[in-house]
Each structure stands twice: as structure tokens, then as C-alpha cells.
Structure 1
Amino acid sequence: MRTLTLSTLGLVTALSGHAADLATRIPLSQRSEAARTTANEAAACKAAQPFFWEIGNAERPLAAGQAGDKAPDAQTRLALASASKWLYGAYVAQERQGKLSNEDIRFLTFESGYTRFKVCLPGQTVGECQASLLNGRGRIDLQTSNLFDYNGGHMQKHATLMGLSMLNKDALAVAIQRGLRPIGPGWDISYSQAQLAGGAVGTASQYSRFLRAVLRNDLQIGALLGTHAVCTNPATCPNEALKTPIPPTETWHYSIGHWVEDDPKVGDGAFSSPGAFGFYPWIDASKTFYGVLAREDRSGMRSDDPDQKPAVQSVDCGRLIRAAWLNGQAQP
């Protein structure tokens, strides 16, 4: 299994130390104001509005706000889309008590070859969806095996191996909540379809509880952040990757159900799981702070212009808010 290069690890380590150092020196009020100004006024953030944002640490939220007219709030239920992937990666880590098999890793870093998947129907179980005609009868595609290919089929097939085949969307929500019970009582998630990689529905408040549990290492995924990460950009590692939703101008790695934003030019080493409709959760490279940029925008998804895609817009804005928070300076 491929891992982060030494140069990338060095970048992430340096960024982690820098963020941790700044966290001890910059007043909370200054960081909050910098993040708020950036969310409201930065050009990239205006393109992503309206949205709700929150930043916190392992113990509690530290700052939050709404940007743009008719913005959602912390309790607005939104389609998480690919932000669901981080939840499933965490679920598997819990079930495995933090010790993933080589097979788990291949599935959760999207190298399993199960790439014929398109979508689940609301009434299907996990297994019915995986085996449907629409999803290629759940067959493996040997041409994509052992190569990174961003597709929900990896997690859908893996879920059947985890014994979740018979669960419909409501039973799946119960299973995931039960598996992630260290988050605490009252943690809530639902599914619009029994799709592990993209079917979850939730609020910024509930997702933030998940991220705080990761930072506290209450969940096994906390120790697995960034591990077993694979290259994802066909333009820079054509022998390792076939398909990525990240613009080809950036090269990120993919870990256990989450991204590592470690592009050599613009990356800051954050861990994240942006969704197609714009829901963007992250943990900074130092594992000190988490953030959520919460929105649901279905326009622009099919655009050939990356700048029009909600996920890309949220990442562009979210990384500015994160930078503003970490260095205490509003970003343009």
C-alpha cells in the first residue's frame, strides 16, 4: 500500500507545528474576527454564499456564523453527499478496533476496483443497491483494481462485507449511530438512501460533534487520519490514479474515507471530506481545530468549470476561513 512521500510528510509536519504554535499565541477574539470577516467578504466565500460556518476544538465550538442571505444555521438538515464517506471510514475503524485489514484499506482508499456504482434508490437495502443493474450488478472492474478511482462502489461493496446488506436507509442510520456511539447520546444521522459513500443527511451541529470526537480520539479514526494515503491525481501519478473530483491543478492524497489536502503548492495538510452539494468538514493538520462549512447547492454540479462546482467553491472558501483562523488575519 502506498503512503505519503517523505516530502509530503515533511510539509504536513511543518504545517502542523506551525498551526499548533499559532494556536497558543493568537487571541480567540482575533481569530474569530478574522474568520468572520473572511467568510463574509472574501471573494471565494461570496461565491459560496449562503452558508453556515463553525470552528472549534476537541471540547467545544469556538466561533460560528452565517454568511449570505437566507443562510442555513447549525440545525439545518442538509444532504452531506461525500461528507458521508468520513462517517463510514470512522464506522469501519470502530468495528475493527482501529486495526484495519489490507482489504479494508483497499476499499476505503478507493482502490478495490468496484467502480461501476452510480446511485441507490430510496427503497433499496444496502445489498439491493450494490447488486442492482444500474450499478453493474455489483461486479468488479479489473481495469480499475489497485488504482485510485473515486466511486461510491468501493464503500457499497465493503458494507456488504461488513454485514450491512439487509439494512434499508433507516436501519443503516441506526447501525452507523450505534457504531459511532462514543460520540455520545443524542448524536443523530439519517440517510436519504442506503448509500454509504453519499447518502447521509445531517446538520452542521451533529457533524461537528463527530469531528470533536475525532479530535479527542474518542473514535479510532482519530489515530488513522492521513494514514495509508494514496495519490489521486491522474495527471501527476497516472500509474496510481484514474479519476478524482479534485481539480487537476491540485494533487491531494486520499486516506481512510477522507482527503489529505497536501498539494505541494497550495495545500495546508488539512483532513477533509467535501460533499458534492457543498458541505465541507475539515480538521486542521495539527489536529487542534475542526471546521464545518455547511450548505446545500445543487447548481453547477455538472459544469465543466471547476469554479462553478459547489464542492470546489466550498473548499476554496473553507481553506481561506481556516487560514484566517490559524493566523489571525482576514483573507482576501
Structure 2
Amino acid sequence: MNVRSQTRWLPLLALLAAGPLCPAQAASPQARQQAAAAVAADDPQCRSLGDFYWEIGDVNGPQGSGVIGGEYTADTSVRVASASKFVWGAYVLEKIGRNNQPTPEQVASLEMRSGYAKFNPLFCALSRSVDACMSSRSNGERDSGLIGKFAYGGGHDQRLAGQLGLGRLSARELTDEVTSYVGKDIGFSYRTPLLAGGMESTPSQFATFLRKVISGQLRLKQFLGYQPVCTQCESAAESPAREPWHYSLNHWIEDTPGIGDGAFSSPGAMGFYPWISKDKTTYGILARQKMGAGAYWDSVLCGRKIRKAWMEAR
């Protein structure tokens, strides 16, 4: 081949080296909705939940949703229990200042390594302030043997609230304080002055919060997965997760080898399950309110299948 012929073929060779001329198209929203809805309605682990509402979206709003049964919609108010931790983590990061990093002590509290592991939320039933809840019976006791070890419980957040100057606040005042930092437009509230589990919200309101995270309006986005700690290892004491997830600043990392997809989540005891995808572009909610020891995990098992169906559109 002479020089002129080689020159003529160079553009074509460059295109071939760059890969296919027509890359595969992303799945359509309709295909994702159909796949997720089919799992929500027909998968055995979802059917076992009874009634629930699910939603998946991005910074632009809900992109798919569904109602199973007639008990829950996007506007049904439910107790979100430990999903409150997601919000508290976001609040702390805003409270300390957008240019400041959390201190090692604050990180230890948000990762449940502060030693305040004797906390029982039932002792707060009649408490009218953050400090009153913390001082009720054994709630304020610190276990020196657990300092530095992951030990799941609400005492870490409750103690941190006092250290941030919120000890005298009632549930109503706590609502005003937290929403003044994460957004008055969100609309959720505290039923009790319990940072780790006292909130109630509608799926729509909580979705607003999750969108503010993935859009970067709340700095929690950059701290998702920050300095993760193991929860089922020698340096951990107690974990409600039934898989070896890691824990970050008041949220779980669903990274079980061979099973987890790396999503960030904070499932509540009564089955409210909010999550953010590993790439921090998509959020989701499975909403219901049921009493039961395994309600939170049952929602996880169904919710992550809905997420997988949505992501893969099949």
C-alpha cells in the first residue's frame, strides 16, 4: 500500500478503533417501570409484605412508582423509624458548616462507635426533650468496652444532639431546627425528640430529601460511604443487618460480596426503606408501616429486587 492509500484509510481506521458507531441505547423509562412493577406485584418476597408504596426517581423527580394494595400512597404519613438516621446525618453535616469536616468524635457518633450502646427508645416514651430522653434510666450510660466498636443503637445520635446544643429542644422545636438546615420544603416532623428514630413523613416528603442529597444541595452526597466501618467483624459488637454490610455516617452500605450493589440506605424498623444508588444518581423508597421484628429486613429484600429490576429494566 502506498502512502496516499494509507492516508485515505486513516479516518476509517480511527473510527473502527474507537468502537461501535451506534452504542446501545439506555433502557427507556417505560421498560424500567414495567420491570420494577412486575417484581413489586409478583415476586414472592414482595407479595409477602402486603400493602406498600414504591417509588424510584432522580434529581428531576419520580421516574417510576407503584401502589400494592390500598393502604399506602405517596402522600400517606408513616413512621419512618431508623430512616430518621439518614436525615440526622445530613443535618449534622450542614450544622457544622459546609466548609468543615466532621471531627473524629462526631464521626464516631455517626458510625455508632461512641460507646453509648445502652439506649432504649421505649424509655423515651414520655420524654419532652432531647436531654430528658438521654437521661431516662440507663440511656445515658457509656460502655467503655464498646468505645471504638460498632454497636447499633440510638444513643450515639442522642448524645451528639446534646453536644451540638439541642438538649433542651422538644419534638416540635427539633423539627424546626433540623428542617432549618436540610430544608423547610421537606415537611417531615419528629413525633418524639428521638434523633435516630422519631420522625414521621410521607414518601413524597422523604423523596424530596433524597433528591436534595443526590443533587448535591445537601453535602451528605459527598459523604455517602465516608470512612466505612465493618459491622460483623471483631471490631463490631452488635448489628441488626442480616448481611455483612458496612456502615458510614448514619447510613448503611449494601456491599455484601456477591449480593450487594453498593447502595446507601437506612431501613426503618416498621418497614420504611429509603435508598440511594451507588453512583448517587438515583433514589428509591419502599413505604409501609408494620410492627414486626423483621419488618425492616423484609422491606429490604423486596426493595432491592425492585431496584435491580429498575436498573436492569428486566
Tell whether the structures are fold-level matches, with TM greater than 0.5: yes
Is residue 2:297 matched to residue 1:312?
yes
Contact 1:215 1:222 (8 Å CA) reproduced: yes
Q: Secondary structure at the match of 1:165?
A: coil
Two-structure CA RMSD over aligned residues (Å) = 1.4
- Report the residue type matching 1:265 in the other structure: G
Q: In structure 1, what is the Cα distance between the partners aligned to 2:247 and 2:59?
A: 23
Structure 1 residues 32 and 253: CA distance shift in structure 2, 3 A: same
Deviates more, 1:121-130 or 1:71-80: 121-130
TM-score (norm 1): 0.84
Instruction: Give the aligned partner of residue 129 of structure 1.
Output: 133
Conserved in 2, the CA contact under 8 Å of 1:122 and 1:192? no
Matched, 1:244 2:243: no
Is 1:83 aligned to residue 83 of structure 2?
Answer: yes
Mapped partners of 1:52, 1:317: distance in 2: 12
Structure 2 CA distance for aligned equivalents of residues 43 and 52 of structure 1: 16
- d(CA) in 2 for partners of 1:56 and 1:256? 23
Do the aligned partners of 1:74 and 1:205 also contact (CA within 8 Å) in 2? yes
The answer to whether the 8 Å contact 1:123/1:169 transfers is: no
Per-residue CA deviation, residues 146-171 of structure 1 (Å, 9 max, x unaligned), is: 10000100000000001100001111
Give 4+ residue runs of structure 1 displaced > 6 Å after superposition: none
3-state SS, counterpart of residue 320 of structure 1? helix
One-letter identity of the residue aligned with 1:196: L
Letter in 2 for 1:189: F
Tell me which residue corresponds to 2:277.
Answer: 284
Q: Flag the 1:97–1:29 CA change in 2: closer, same or farther, 3 A.
A: same
Is 1:267 matched with 2:252? no
Please give the residue correspondences for 1:38-117 in structure 2 after superposition, counting only pairs within 5 Å. Answer: 38-67=39-68, 69-98=69-98, 99-117=101-119
Q: 1:315 to 1:23 in 2, by over 3 A?
A: farther
Q: 1 CA distance for matches of 2:224 and 2:71? A: 31
CA distance in 2, matches of 1:242, 1:24: 47
Shift of 1:24: 6.3
How many residues get paired?
Answer: 288
Between the two structures, name the one with larger relative contact order (CA 8 Å, sep ≥ 6): 1
Indicate if the aligned counterparts of 2:188 and 2:199 stay in contact, CA closer than 8 A.
Answer: yes
SS in 2 for 1:48: coil
C-alpha displacement of 1:218: 0.2
Which of 159, 162, 165 is equivalent to 1:163? Answer: 165
Letter in 2 for 1:170: R
Q: Which has the larger radius of gyration?
A: 2
Change in Cα spacing, 1:97 to 1:325, as seen in structure 2 (3 Å) is same
**Which residue matches 1:14?**
none
Q: SS of the residue aligned with 2:40?
A: helix
Contact in 2 for aligned 1:118/1:152 (Cα 8 Å): yes
Matched to 2:34, the amino acid is E
* SS across alignment from 2:274: strand
Segments of 5+ residues of structure 1 without an aligned counterpart are 1-21, 302-308
> Which amino acid is 1:73 matched to?
T
In the TM superposition, residue 187 of structure 1 has moved relative to its aligned partner by: 1.8
How far is 1:315 from its partner?
0.2
